Amino acid sequence: MSTTNRVLIIYTGGTIGMKDTPRGYAPAPGFLSELLAAMPPFHDRTMPAHTTPISRYGRRVRYDILEYAPLLDSSNMGLDDWVKIARDVERHYDAYDAFIVLHGTDTMAYTASALSFMLENLGKTVILTGSQIPLAEARSDAIGNVLGALTIAGHYEIPEVCLYFDNRLMRGNRTQKTDASGLAAFASGNAPPLVEVGIEVKVEWDRILAPPTRPFRVNPITHQAVAALRLFPGISAEMITNVLRPPTEGLVLESFGAGNAPDHRADFLDALRAGTDRGVVIVNVTQCQRGAVTTDYATGAALAEVGVIGGADMTPEAALTKLAWLLSQGLPRAEVARLMQTNLRGELTTTATQTRFSFRERVFIASVARALAEAGESVSRVEVERALLPVLMCSAAGLGDTTALERMLASGAEVDAADYDGRTPLHLAASEGHLGAVEFLLARGAKVDPPDRWGGTPLQDAVRQRHHPVVMALRRQGATLGADASIQLCGLAVAGDLTGIGLLLDAGADPSSGDYDRRTPLHLAAAEGHSAAIALLLARGADPRARDRWQQSPRDEALRGGHAAAAELLGVALT
């Protein structure tokens, strides 16, 4: 038994489906569809047209092809074409499990970025791909690209607009075409691939965006008045002024390195300021393929001072399409500026303080919420979050992951969020000996002695697991041991366990309190002749005069056991 997933291939044009004609490569209607139907990896002859053979994962992919007329070289594409693709996804959204957009490579990164913003609450996989060499050529990269995209689209639910090329699935709005002739034509400098296809298909679920909780819709780009300008040494102020003239309402400024521009050129900065004063949203991104803009340098800070906003590590393609999309919504300028700096579709990396959850936690919580919803349970994501956050907090504490703890606290998790056994993050961090996490939790106001289901406290956990620095940190905050500490100390004295005795004493155990028969640790160490333990206990204030239920002193015990050295030590202590 195999299952069949349905994929819609939206074929817009590009080299991939071109035919060799006397005038060079040119798009040919119907040609790509015929080619695919004739190729065994794309068509199982025993099945209806456009059905792949059963994969090693037990699935077939059945695909339909929606071919555009005319087929376009992507250099001829623009905003209307992006919206058309978005509308076609919308029209067929319910009928297919996933979508592939075959597209020319030249502007594919722009289309991928634009689609990522326009397709709101996307819950299905959308993959753009194409090729550097036509599918009809013997040595074409199209076979691998289309087959890879079909495999991923037909098997995995990756609710994002992605770009697949050269065995890697990348987040679409992170990509750039970086090679005009090589087969690895795309790079995603600031975000690692979501999937890598080798012998196995390796999906990095942690990196994939959480599925939406609201219904899918298309929110189109209608606004054209955006521009991009790449700075170069010696650029004139006049050129800036010209670019910023109406109708321009948004400008992506591609600056040097980590967001720098000349700061000793008043004319240049004045030209930019005139633009921002007029209400043009100017976004600063780097010309580099990796890294982000910062205001670490004076030359970067100068841009911020004239009202230019930082675009973090967005690609120019993502920044341009996002700006056009935000301006299309008629939002106030300040809101456009704020959203340009906010991560909406994984297009930019925010600092830890701005991140709500890591992708791992968000994906996990959202997936559970969705699985429950699919199973017919009417629980909201908030309810799932409430149920799972304590467990995630405890697990992060057990791993000593203070960054995750910090994020979850910032999202409203409780510092003492206890799991089903009443064990708090502090219990877990203390048990595992994560001093950093213990200190972090205490600084954030964690209760010092919360009893778990069995009455156990973090200090007891730290003692049991012998994490001395953690014991000391808890003691500094006033943690106390429970009543059975003296029994425990007696046990350690019988065993002559010097480390254990020292640790328990540091944890606050009373060296002189005895067991049920009032036999103190000193009695027990003496009975066994553990001289070093006796010395340690005496040094830490144990009372050599203590009498047990039968009026025996520790020294009596030593003598009775024939431990002369121990008796001697205790004798000296009595004098």
CB of 301 to ligand ASP, least distance (A): 39
**Closest residue to bound ligand ASP by CB:** 104
Is residue 378 within 8 A of residue 353, CB to CB? The reply is: no
Q: Is 15 a catalytic residue?
A: yes
Of the pair 15, 424, the CB lying nearest ligand ASP is at 15
State how far the Cα of 474 lies from the Cα of 159, in Å rounded to an integer: 45
State how far the Cα of 28 lies from the Cα of 17, in Å rounded to an integer: 7
Of the pair 186, 268, the CB lying nearest ligand ASP is at 186
CB of 364 to ligand ASP, least distance (A): 38
Of the pair 175, 513, the CB lying nearest ligand ASP is at 175
Q: Is 444 exposed, middle or buried (0-12, 13-18, 19+ CB in 10 A)?
A: middle
State how far the Cα of 14 lies from the Cα of 36, in Å rounded to an integer: 16
State how far the Cα of 219 lies from the Cα of 215, in Å rounded to an integer: 12
State how far the Cα of 544 lies from the Cα of 443, in Å rounded to an integer: 40
CB of 43 to ligand ASP, least distance (A): 23
State how far the Cα of 368 lies from the Cα of 347, in Å rounded to an integer: 25
How big is the CA angle at 347 (ends 343 and 351), to the nearest 5 degrees?
50
State how far the Cα of 377 lies from the Cα of 371, in Å rounded to an integer: 9
Identity of residue 7: V
CB of 105 to ligand ASP, least distance (A): 3
| No. of helices (H) and no. of strands (E), the chain | 22, 18
- Tokens for 486? 């003296």
Is residue 318 within 8 A of residue 118, CB to CB? The reply is: no
Backbone angles phi, psi at 78, to 5 degrees: -150, -165
Residue 165, phi-psi category: left (phi > 0), alpha (psi -120 to 50), beta (remainder): beta
CB of 245 to ligand ASP, least distance (A): 30
Of the pair 14, 311, the CB lying nearest ligand ASP is at 14
Q: Is 241 exposed, middle or buried (0-12, 13-18, 19+ CB in 10 A)?
A: middle
Of the pair 75, 403, the CB lying nearest ligand ASP is at 75
- Tokens for 175? 């990509």
Backbone angles phi, psi at 125, to 5 degrees: -80, 130
Tell me how far the alpha carbon of residue 408 is from its chain's centroid.
13
CB of 177 to ligand ASP, least distance (A): 9
Catalytic: which of 15, 52, 105, 129?
15
CB of 414 to ligand ASP, least distance (A): 53
Of the pair 67, 73, the CB lying nearest ligand ASP is at 73
Backbone angles phi, psi at 102, to 5 degrees: -85, 130
Of the pair 80, 277, the CB lying nearest ligand ASP is at 80
Footprint on this chain of ligand ASP (rule: CB under 6 A): 13-15, 73-75, 104-106, 130, 132
Pinpoint the alpha helices (H) of 376-506: 381-399, 402-410, 425-432, 435-443, 458-464, 468-476, 485-495, 498-506
Is residue 185 within 8 A of residue 15, CB to CB? The reply is: no
Of the pair 133, 410, the CB lying nearest ligand ASP is at 133
Backbone angles phi, psi at 441, to 5 degrees: -65, -40
Contacts of 381 (CB under 8 A, 6+ apart): 213, 365, 366, 369
CB of 144 to ligand ASP, least distance (A): 14
CB of 254 to ligand ASP, least distance (A): 21
In the block, residue with structure tokens 């050529």: 137
Of the pair 15, 321, the CB lying nearest ligand ASP is at 15
Give the catalytic positions in this structure: 15
